[in-house]
Structure 1
Amino acid sequence: MNNYDLKGRVIAITGATGGLGRAAAQALRGRGAKLALLDLDLEGLDQQAATLGQPDEVAGWVANVRSLDSLETALAAAAQHFGGIDVVVAAAGVATQESMESMSPEVFERTIDINLNGVWRTFRAALPHVKRRQGYLLAVSSMAAFVHSPLNAHYCASKAGVWAMCDSIRLELAQFRVGVGSLHPTFFMTPMMDAALQGPCSALVWNNHQGLWKFVALEQVVAALVDCIERRRDTVTVPGSNSLVAKAPGLLRRIIERIGFDTDRVAKAVREQANPQEAG
């Protein structure tokens, strides 16, 4: 379905106070949407809502994507406040760069629980509301769903899982005229990326984000997110030129790995991750 007019639509966003969530909220308000902002920080949510509109246009609720009860409670309150929910954007996520050898099980499990299970919980809690309005569910995934960087097994697994899950759920919900999409941006600058830039992956694995691993502008990612909703799209990459990688991951994976990752530099990154005091 094209030309899904956002004016007056109620859009719920998890991770609303994060870098992408905040920018997306502003852009969606610019399209005339009403916003239910969901995050862990009530004070931050209230401040954000106050800058974007009146209480009948924008409001915030505390929600934890690691708890289905929390999401169900928040979305039910938002639906009552606004009279319903049309669209839900699952934008909450975490990212770290660690080798399997140095990573604690808790880090791996937390990443999967927030990035993958959190999207499932968000969609599950949102479904009764979105079904009533034949709406749309959008998950923020990553190009990491298709290009699997070393020292990033937990993140890649979570984002690839989101991609596969969206493809599966889309087939289930087509009978209800509910759309399901996944957005796959490459690197873009947000506060979450600051730590990555300080670690060994940035210089050794991703070539200081030059060439194949260069950043795209946050505004470009936000524009794609808005377009996903307005056109109820299935799978979108940012930049769009990466769509071939998304469509043929099995064919291109070996080529990308050979071009993009230097074996010696990856080995050095793993060593530095395991023994940061020896880096230099």
Structure 2
Amino acid sequence: MSATPPLSAQVVVITGAARGVGALLARKLARRGAEVALVGLEPEELKAVAAECGPAATSWEADVTDLEALRAVARQIQDRYGRIDTVVANAGIAIGGPLQDSDPRAFDRVIEVNLLGSVATARAFLPALVESGGYLLQIASLAAITPAPLMSAYCASKAGVEAFAHSLRAEVAYQGVKVGVGYLSWTDTDMVRGADQDTVLAQMRSHLPWPANKTYPLDPAVERLVAGIGRRSPHVYAQAWLRGMQPIRWALPGLIAAVGSREVARLAPQLKATMTARLRPVGAGGAADSAARSAATE
């Protein structure tokens, strides 16, 4: 099997690249010499990020849940650069609050974007990665390791993408493709800031045990993702302490059920009174997804 090419010799595709983790990851990889192709729903924001990444960077508008659109973009990117070495499946949205108070369409959309969008990303780009002997990094979350009340859609989707990536790794290894899972705790992005605007959810999060109750800076988290991409690691931890969660994850559902149930009961009146404020995905990325969905149905 051929050696991993240096980042300076790679073409890297990043979904959800208009802001947050995806945008900073693109900039950091470009500074290391990679040619980056940015995929997402916000064309103007994508173009702005691409402009910061140098003349070799490109932007491509596509919904990750639209397999045919993704396949077309994958072909166009491969035609443009001649190959694709790494794909980062980063696109994601989130909603918060109790299941019973949630909008079923918004809840299902989180699963659709985060999980099925990752599946579609893999389907679309795997042919190119097989050709190059490349690497797929699936961005998951602390939410894949531990359940969290009021985050059932996001936790289900991230647990799903973790399991999907682990399963896919075994399927494509003989073809020379490596698959990794990236884990992030609460990191300073539009999504997390949007969630924190909900004072009830912010209260709930403040009662999580340390170190899961704090927000971590974006730059060092993405720096660790860059290092993981450079190594083509099977597991990449954006905060170092997340690695230590793996051996104890078996105990977390019972602990969360005991502690979380008391917190949810305490906050139940406030949650009910504010339920209409959390019927859409949080943050600017969530708003962009909602806008794109509305435009598609007009």
Give the match for residue 228 of structure 1: 228
Q: Secondary structure at the match of 2:101?
A: coil
C-alpha separation between the residues in 1 aligned to 2:193 and 2:250?
A: 31
Distance, in Å, in 2 between the alignment partners of 1:278 and 1:231 is: 45
The AA in structure 1 aligned to 2:164 is M
- How many aligned residue pairs are there? 275
- Write the distance in 2 (CA, Å) between the matches of 1:112 and 1:217: 26
TM-score, reference length from structure 2: 0.86
Identity among equivalent positions (%) equals 33
Alpha-carbon distance in 2 for matches of 1:223, 1:98: 31
Quick one: structure 1 residues 108 and 3, their matched pair in 2 at CA, closer, same or farther if it must change by over 3 Å?
same
State the shift of 1:220 in Å.
Answer: 2.0
Alignment match, 1:139: 138
Partner of 2:120: 121
Distance 1:187 1:205, change over 3 A: closer
* 2:31 and 2:53 in contact (8 A); partners too: no
Structure 1 unaligned regions, length at least 5: none
8 Å CA contact 1:65–1:114 kept in 2: the answer is yes
Q: State which drifts further: 204-213 or 6-15.
A: 204-213
Contact 1:201–1:269 under 8 Å retained in 2: no
User: Letter of the aligned partner of 1:139 in structure 2?
Assistant: Q
| SS of the residue 1:189 aligns to | coil
For 1:10 and 1:225, how far apart are their aligned partners in 2?
A: 16
Distance in 2 between residues matched to 1:267 and 1:162, nearest whole Å: 30
> Are residues 84 and 60 of structure 1, via their aligned partners in 2, closer, same or farther at CA, if it must alter by over 3 Å?
same
Unaligned runs of at least 5 residues, structure 2: 278-298
C-alpha distance in 2 between matches for 1:273 and 1:251: 27
TM-score between the two structures when normalised by the length of structure 1: 0.91
Change (3 A) 1:277 1:136: closer
**Displaced runs of 4 or more, over 6 A:** none
Matched, 1:218 2:218: yes
Which residue does 1:33 correspond to in 2? 34
Residues 12 and 252 of structure 1: CA distance in aligned 2, closer, same or farther (over 3 Å) = same
Aligned CA-pair RMSD: 2.2
Alignment check: 8 A CA contact 1:202 1:208 kept? no
Distance 2:166 2:211 in 1: 30
| Cα distance, 1:107–1:270 mapped onto 2, change above 3 Å | farther
Provide the secondary structure at the position in 2 that maps to 1:212.
coil
- 1:186–1:238 contact (8 Å) kept in structure 2: yes
1:77 aligned residue: 76
Of 251, 262, 271 in structure 1, the residue corresponding to residue 269 of structure 2 is 271
- The residue number in structure 1 matching 2:16 is 15
